[in-house]
Amino acid sequence: MSVLSRYFDDLTSPQVAGLLVDARTPVLLLPVGAIEPHGPHAPLGTDPIISMGMCDRVCDLLADDPEVRPLVLPELPYGVTRCAASFPGAVGISEDTLHALVVEVCRALVDQGLRNVVVVNNHFEPEHVATLRRAVDTLRAERRVRLGYLDLLRRTNVARLTDEFRSGACHGGRYETSLVLADHPALVVDDLRTALPEVAVNLATAMSGGERDFRAMGLERAYCGAPAEATASEGVDTYRVLTELLVSTVRETVAANRVPS
């Protein structure tokens, strides 16, 4: 008997039909992020890379779980990104476009019986996060299902992450660069990274004050934090925490959507 791929788009149509009668509840993970500059050293796709890294680790951790079968949907790499718009490489979409994409993708899955979908996001621009939260509410109202969403900006989740993440100075800094180094070190321009000075700008504070331009906030090279301090080992440790949080979200989503017999 063949082993199913963890990647949803690798499956055949009959294999998807088989998920609906499987003893293990299928949970579809939707990696989300944004294509935008993360300093001169880190890839434009840093956010979706981190989301995909989390999804893969959850699939590893739950590979033999008797209750749930996680699968990874094709990533949605485009998000609402205006802060980095003045730098080459930023590709932003509107709130309405993001909302429509997430809702319509998830609606198509829910309508064929795949009720458990979890959005895995690592782009934290306020309008982007608000749009994902709105998509969760839309699916709940339309289809009476709970769309899973691991909100890493909740205080209880923030408290479990690194000092730099908690400081708010973590765009292309030590936190994110460590995560990229853990999985894709070749994508980090290391000779540049190690020479970059720390930029101590609290993005959360600046954005809450209405700022939406990195240069105006003091991110003249599209990063803040301390990328020179990033290590692959810190990235591995951080992924461990992120994976634990995502597994909890997976189980909570399944419990919330369980149909009474």
Q: pLDDT digits over 202-257, tens only?
A: 999 999 899 999 999 999 999 999 999 999 999 999 999 999 999 999 999 999 99
The two structure tokens encoding residue 144: 């009476």
Query: Quick check: helix, strand or coil at residue 254?
Result: helix
What is the C-alpha to C-alpha distance for residues 192 and 227, in angstroms, rounded to an integer?
Answer: 10
The two structure tokens encoding residue 245: 């949080």
Q: pLDDT digits over 149-163, tens only?
A: 999 999 999 999 999
pLDDT of residue 197: 98
At 92, phi and psi to the nearest 5? -105, 155
Q: pTM value?
A: 0.96
Whether residue 181 contacts residue 232, with contact meaning beta carbons closer than 8 Å, is answered with yes
pLDDT of residue 261: 38
Nearest to 249 by CA among 79, 62, 85: 62
At 250, phi and psi to the nearest 5? -60, -50
pLDDT of residue 66: 97
Q: Give the helix/strand (H/E) hosting 118.
A: strand 117-121
**What average pLDDT is seen over the chain?**
96
Average pLDDT (93-117) is: 98
Domains of the chain: 8-159+238-257 (3.40.50.10310)
Q: Which residues pair with 27 in a beta bridge?
A: 70
What is the C-alpha to C-alpha distance for residues 147 and 140, in angstroms, rounded to an integer?
Answer: 7
What is the C-alpha to C-alpha distance for residues 216 and 206, in angstroms, rounded to an integer?
Answer: 10
The two structure tokens encoding residue 243: 């994976």
Q: pLDDT digits over 168-182, tens only?
A: 999 999 999 999 999
Q: pLDDT digits over 22-68, tens only?
A: 999 999 999 999 999 999 999 999 999 999 999 999 999 999 999 99
Average pLDDT (191-201) is: 97
Average pLDDT (65-74) is: 98
At 259, phi and psi to the nearest 5? -85, 125
pLDDT of residue 3: 84
pLDDT of residue 2: 63
pLDDT of residue 1: 45
Q: What type of residue is 107?
A: R
pLDDT of residue 9: 98
Give CA separation, 191 vs 37, 46, 195, in Å: 18, 18, 7
How buried is residue 80: exposed, middle or buried, by Cβ count under 10 Å (0-12/13-18/19+)?
Answer: buried
Average pLDDT (109-123) is: 98
Strands 25-32 and 68-72: parallel
Average pLDDT (15-20) is: 97
Calculate ∠ Cα 226-227-230, nearest 5°: 105
pLDDT bracket for residue 146 (50, 70, 90): very high
In the predicted structure, residue 6 carries a pLDDT above the cut 50: yes
pLDDT of residue 142: 96
What is the C-alpha to C-alpha distance for residues 193 and 174, in angstroms, rounded to an integer?
Answer: 10
